[in-house]
Structure 1
Amino acid sequence: MTLNKLDASGLYFPILFERALQDWPPIIEMRRLERADAENYSVLGLALQVDNIADSYIEDPEEIIMRNLHTAIFSSIHSAAKYSVLMEMRHLRSSAVRANFHERLRKAVCIKALKWTQADIALVDRYFAQNL
């Protein structure tokens, strides 16, 4: 990944979202659930899949943005699995992912234990300056 993706247009949510979707397979199979109880479940292999995708951004200049975006995408897929057995990623509602993503970034920037650098926080500030 190159630094030019961090310019103003590269931080525009629709562009980030489309880029992030390219990291996922076009269709997510969600037939195999592990249930802890009636309310709690996990999709077999989904957590490992998001970890592998998000881990590809470690040490990348966009790490903070992309890892949190992929976690927001994972959250939307996980929620859909309660009601569906397949997810075509092109049908994922970007507005739901965006709301989850924004909430994650706002909370995370305040958590000192994450040890975000000033550059990380500045990147989040730049993102919100462009996307609000």
Structure 2
Amino acid sequence: MRRSYKFLLRPTTRQEKALREMLADHCSLYNGALQERRNAYQHPSKTRIRYGNQSAQLKDIRAFDPERQGRWSFSSQQATLRRLNKAFEAFFRRVETGRTPGYPRFKGVGHFDTVEFPQGR
């Protein structure tokens, strides 16, 4: 059985700043991964990039940008990439069934308000 917990946080000013930075960096990762998928598909070869490809690049991304992406949990960043993958799976599922597809959108920092820290995966 999966359980979910919600906690009420009352962070200090410094902690709140760090949490906002974490959300902004995860949002940047999500938007960058979405842009990579769009660019690959718009290429004449119509290449599809999947979660496995982007997750494999995560180590290099973290090494290239240690001040931003490198300071957060690797598993939480993988969860952000899985979130994007779920959006694409839902999009393609709706296309196959003939419903209104709703292509995944870029997220603004104000609309990206969740970071998942998976345990035991």
Normalising by the residue count of structure 1, what TM-score does the alignment of the two structures yield? 0.42
Normalising by the residue count of structure 2, what TM-score does the alignment of the two structures yield? 0.44
